[in-house]
Structure 1
Amino acid sequence: MANRPRGRWDSTTQTAPPITVEVPVLGIGSGPSAYEELGSYVWALRRPRGLHMTLLHLGVVEDFCTDVAVWTKGNTSPESAMGRTVSWLERLPVLEAFSGSAERLIVLGAGGVAGLEIDLPASVHEFQVSLVHALHELLDELLVDNIDDFILSSPALGFRSPRWVPHVAVGRPKYHGRGPWEIARVGVDFGESRIRNRQFLPQLP
């Protein structure tokens, strides 16, 4: 495990996957054809069943706790950080199911992934902001100073920008350039929020 690249997960190994708070996609448009039309914009269109939107990325929890221990110079041990982090995750509120819409594709990260940019109700944006505030409170409890700097520099968290862009990743872009590409407006239905890979969290005593 010590040689595993931090912040990445290989499903062929026994290492733990990253933990995120997400909402599953229940449907796009009026039927399967509405989603399949995106195949003209991307390669290897992802299966509809696995589509989701990430609200908060925590990363591999062991890596996150190690980042905390290093940042606090050992004032918070990885074991203490683990117990408090798992307890914090279990207490997070649940966002009820909701609907949004999309009318363009955007390029994400280094350009290898295209996603639907989602227009959301204000309540969903407020919920995502509340998750970030809750993360700040957790880090304060874990004795992390300069919390914003920690969030942007922690390899486990993997934040590249303080701004959240609501999106659903759907495949690899076919076209060069950064986009965006306009598409026919489609409705997107989401289920209630959940902790992805919750079953990989250690059990609290």
Structure 2
Amino acid sequence: MANRPRGGWDSTTLTAPPITVEVPVLSVGAGPSDYEELARYVWALRRPRGLHMTLLHLGVAEDFCRDVTQWTKGITSAESAMVGTVSWLEALPVLEAFSGSSESLIALGRGGVCGLEIAVPAFVRDYQLALVRGLHELLDELLVDNIDDFILSSPALGFRSPRWVPHVAVGRPKYRGRGPWEIGRVGVEFGESRIRNRQFLPGF
């Protein structure tokens, strides 16, 4: 366990997976063939059943709380950070199911994964912004100073950009570059928001 990269998760071990707020994908296009068409652009197309769109990545809860403790120089203990974080997650409102659409694939991160770039309704963007504001409020309650710096520095959170790009990761790109790769418009249906891996949090 000591050698596990912070913020990462190895499914072959008993270490906890990352906590995210996400919405599950219920369908892509009019039927299974519309999703299978993406295999023209993607290696090892992911199974439709596990597709989702992340709204907020919190990271492994223990790592996040450890980051808070280190940043506050012990003023906020890891135990207190965990209690506050779980309470915050419990109080999050649920985002209702909604419809989106995609017309292109984009490269994600360092380009090893690509995803459908999703056009979402304004209330979905508002909800995601509310999550970020809520994270700021949580960190303020946990006595974290210079909150923006903490968010960009925390290995657990793993933020790379302040701008949220709605997307659904689908596999490895067949083509070089960052994209976008036009695919023709497909509708994407999403279910209600949920906390992924919530069963790994104390009290859930």
Counterpart in the other structure of 1:87: 87
Q: How does 1:181-196 map to 2 (within 5 A)?
A: 181-196=181-196
Q: How does 1:1-205 map to 2 (within 5 A)?
A: 1-203=1-203
**TM-score of the superposition, structure 1-length normalised?**
0.98
State the superposition RMSD in angstroms: 0.7
**TM-score of the superposition, structure 2-length normalised?**
0.99
SS at match of 1:23: strand
TM-fit CA distance, 1:99: 0.3
Gaps of at least 5 residues in structure 2 are: none
Cα separation, 2, equivalents of 1:193 and 1:102: 19
TM-fit CA distance, 1:2: 2.3
1:151-201 C-alpha deviation (Å, 9 max, x unpaired): 001000000010000000000000011111011100000000000001111
- Code of the residue aligned with 2:106 in structure 1: it is I
Cα separation, 2, equivalents of 1:61 and 1:29: 35
Give every structure 1 segment of 4 or more consecutive aligned residues whose post-TM-superposition deviation is greater than 6 Å.
none
SS at match of 1:33: helix
Cα separation, 2, equivalents of 1:73 and 1:7: 20
Cα separation, 2, equivalents of 1:109 and 1:191: 25
TM-fit CA distance, 1:53: 0.0
TM-fit CA distance, 1:88: 0.8
Cα separation, 2, equivalents of 1:92 and 1:3: 33
TM-fit CA distance, 1:105: 0.3
TM-fit CA distance, 1:3: 2.0
1:82-133 C-alpha deviation (Å, 9 max, x unpaired): 1111111111110000000000000000000010000000000000000000
1:44-76 C-alpha deviation (Å, 9 max, x unpaired): 000000000000000000000000000000000
Identity %: 82
Cα separation, 2, equivalents of 1:155 and 1:171: 24
TM-fit CA distance, 1:4: 1.3
SS at match of 2:114: strand
